[in-house]
Structure 1
Amino acid sequence: MLVPDLRREVRGELGGGGHGLGGRGLVHRVPINRSHGPAGPPIGGWLGVMADPLYCWPAAMPDQTQPDLASLRVEIDRIDDALHDLLMRRADIVAQMAASRVKAGAPSFRPGREAQILRRLLERNQGALARGTVVRLWREIIASSLAQQGAFSVAVPGEAAADSPLVRLARAHFGLPTPLKLHATPSRTLASVADGEAAVAVLPAPQEGDRPEAAWWAQMEPSRLRVVLALPFLAPNGAPNGNGGAPAYAVAPLAPEPTGRDRSLLRLEPGPEHSRARIQAALTAAGLTPRWLLRQETPTPMALAELDGFLTEQDPRLAALPFPRMQILGAYAEPEPEE
């Protein structure tokens, strides 16, 4: 028997019993097309209902598991405000420290202390925040603190190379606002720091075969200046130079401070009988295995070695070396890996 189309009201209860097809109080009018025959079930059934153009699906409900972007932006604004509050508080503390340092005559630039701060932050870093981002943020914060405590500038050789790799290294470490003073030669760069025109010099890593005027390490007077920093602090794959060391070093009129993981530079004057192999063998026999070693023949035979650890003049291992003259040019924090 053919039954004419009927329409009935279906009420769905959200979250309760029933069909759950709609929200509370919503009415859906569903056409029922039943064509019964003696052989069995209705023809079409629910398939016919679903295919009927008059069938009304319930409105799509929002996914309650997805975070609301507006709420997330509000939370980011709160975090930014909290960060800004802490930075302003940090600046207040730095101002107090600056006043105390002026009275005590203590230096504001402490590369060993800076390395310890960065290492502590890198050790606690986790999640999506990249190590490079942490270092870049805090280098700018530290640079701001240095500027807050008095005039601070950096001397770099290369008068015509305002965007050289060395200049980029200096800016990355000491902050974009820090004044850079460019000089024609490494010797003039060192002199500007020794004379107090700049606080620190950034110099290229020593290389085998450097011209005498480029070999700044042979010109240094360690009684006035010391190597206090290797750049960059966060080294991609060790950032080796031709000798396997850092691309650049920073020199300042400061006594280096140990950081727990350090390296040192030792300058020595070998005799004519001391070949490179003999120099390396003598250092190794004394327990001072060099990471790299280079030698310069003119104007005076000299050798330079990078050694593990924080070396001082009182180290008994130096007494075991057969060289007539040796000088520690400085010590610095071992660079950290980028990953």
Structure 2
Amino acid sequence: MPDHTPPDLASLRVEIDRIDDALHDLLMRRADIVAHMAASRVKGGAATFRPGREALILRRLLGRHRGALPRAALFRLWREVIASSLAQQGNFSVAAVQGEQGADSPSARIARAHFGLLTPLKLHATTNRALASVGSGEAAVAVLPAPQDGEKPEAAWWTQMETPRLRIVAALPFLAQPEQSGNGADPGLAAPAAYAVAALVPDATGRDRSLLRIEPEPEQSRARINAALTGVGLAPRWMIRRDAPTPMALVEVEGFLAEEDPRLASLPFPRLQILGAYAEPEPEEDAR
């Protein structure tokens, strides 16, 4: 049959094929560089999973993005590219919580969306089991539901974290939806649905938030904890407080806190630990 494709459409298809080939060449070149980096890291013992570095890559690409391709599509493409790079550099697997929905649990969906469809994903019956799999080295990272005020003790995985070996290193999703209710912890963006926990020290990205686990005195109320933190310049963005079996509070503050930060030593709490830090999420829609 004769080809009735208009000449202009035919030329555009040829141009798309040329661009596809160029993209493919660049992806193969990128994979070669990653393979070289992987060999160097094996010799040097450097970590392969660098969530702070990943956030910087995505922020840079989102910041320069223009045109008809949605930001979500760009993000999805690069998350798969980053996931493939992690796979190249060694055994990398993710633990998540199965929940009542099984393989379609919220944690599993978030883990797949962030770490790629081909990254091995191991589902666990409880958050503590998923957390333990990272502590034992069975998984490189655990994706755990964001803590909630009033949650059951068995769901409060943040109280069981072994610090400083395990740290919160990312908040998910990184590409965030606008806040619908207007009362979320994150002005303008929905609060994180999950956190990634790994056996590594997070990297600062320039726009970060830190999470503190505080063991206050029984008489130190939310208001007193808030006042103490605010007094040293660490005003809480949000706080979760539980009283049993041991009084504990989980607090998020602006910035990337280091262990040697002098403000921490001046706080009037029997015990305080940095649970980790994460790069601030990016909006799904460009505000420009």
* TM-score, structure 2 as length reference: 0.92
Pairing partner for 1:336 from 271, 274, 282? 282
Kept in 2, the 8 Å contact 1:295–1:304? The answer is yes
Determine whether 1:278 maps to 2:224: yes
Report the Cα distance in structure 2 between the residues aligned to 1:239 and 1:121, rounded to whole angstroms.
Answer: 26
For residue 289 of structure 1, what is the aligned residue in structure 2?
235
SS state at 1:327 partner: strand
Pairing partner for 1:261 from 207, 217, 222? 207
Report the Cα distance in structure 1 between the residues aligned to 2:195 and 2:110, rounded to whole angstroms.
Answer: 10
Determine whether 1:163 maps to 2:109: no
Report the Cα distance in structure 1 between the residues aligned to 2:7 and 2:228, rounded to whole angstroms.
Answer: 65
Which one scores higher on RCO, CA 8 angstroms, separation ≥ 6?
Answer: 2
Determine whether 1:203 maps to 2:144: yes
Kept in 2, the 8 Å contact 1:238–1:335? The answer is no
**TM-aligned CA distance change 1:325 to 1:239, over 3 Å:** farther
Determine whether 1:312 maps to 2:252: no
* TM-score, structure 1 as length reference: 0.78
Report the Cα distance in structure 1 between the residues aligned to 2:75 and 2:248, rounded to whole angstroms.
Answer: 36
Structure 2, unaligned stretches of length 5 or more? 1-5
Structure 1, unaligned stretches of length 5 or more? 1-65
Determine whether 1:184 maps to 2:184: no
Determine whether 1:109 maps to 2:49: yes
Higher fraction of helix: 2
Q: CA deviation at 1:242?
A: 6.8
Show structure 1 runs of 4+ deviating over 2 A: 238-245
Q: CA deviation at 1:159?
A: 5.6
Q: CA deviation at 1:128?
A: 1.2
Q: CA deviation at 1:238?
A: 5.1
Residues 194-234 of structure 1: CA deviation (Å, up to 9, x unaligned): 11100000000000111111100000011220000000000
Report the Cα distance in structure 1 between the residues aligned to 2:179 and 2:124, rounded to whole angstroms.
Answer: 28
Kept in 1, the 8 Å contact 2:164–2:275? The answer is no
Kept in 1, the 8 Å contact 2:202–2:278? The answer is yes
Q: CA deviation at 1:297?
A: 1.1
**TM-aligned CA distance change 1:239 to 1:222, over 3 Å:** farther
The aligned amino acid for 1:275 is S
- Rg comparison, structure with higher value: 1
Report the Cα distance in structure 2 between the residues aligned to 1:115 and 1:265, rounded to whole angstroms.
Answer: 18
SS state at 2:104 partner: coil
The aligned amino acid for 2:172 is L
Kept in 1, the 8 Å contact 2:209–2:255? The answer is yes
Determine whether 1:173 maps to 2:173: no
The aligned amino acid for 1:269 is E
Residues 139-170 of structure 1: CA deviation (Å, up to 9, x unaligned): 00000011111111100122652101211111
Pairing partner for 2:20 from 80, 84, 87? 80
For residue 39 of structure 1, what is the aligned residue in structure 2?
none
The aligned amino acid for 1:154 is V
Pairing partner for 1:100 from 29, 40, 53? 40
Report the Cα distance in structure 2 between the residues aligned to 1:317 and 1:172, rounded to whole angstroms.
Answer: 37
Kept in 1, the 8 Å contact 2:128–2:160? The answer is yes
Residues 100-130 of structure 1: CA deviation (Å, up to 9, x unaligned): 0000011111000000000000111011121
Report the Cα distance in structure 2 between the residues aligned to 1:76 and 1:298, rounded to whole angstroms.
Answer: 62
For residue 326 of structure 1, what is the aligned residue in structure 2?
272
Q: CA deviation at 1:235?
A: 0.4
Instruction: Report how many aligned residue pairs link the two structures.
Output: 274
For residue 32 of structure 1, what is the aligned residue in structure 2?
none
Report the Cα distance in structure 2 between the residues aligned to 1:182 and 1:253, rounded to whole angstroms.
Answer: 19
Q: CA deviation at 1:273?
A: 1.9
Kept in 2, the 8 Å contact 1:229–1:250? The answer is yes
The aligned amino acid for 2:74 is V
Determine whether 1:120 maps to 2:60: yes
Report the Cα distance in structure 1 between the residues aligned to 2:146 and 2:273, rounded to whole angstroms.
Answer: 18
SS state at 2:12 partner: helix
CA RMSD after TM alignment = 1.7
Report the Cα distance in structure 1 between the residues aligned to 2:57 and 2:210, rounded to whole angstroms.
Answer: 20
Determine whether 1:223 maps to 2:169: no
Report the Cα distance in structure 1 between the residues aligned to 2:111 and 2:137, rounded to whole angstroms.
Answer: 18
Which range moves more in the overlay, 79-88 or 319-328? Answer: 319-328
Report the Cα distance in structure 1 between the residues aligned to 2:99 and 2:55, rounded to whole angstroms.
Answer: 29
Percent identity among equivalent residues? 74
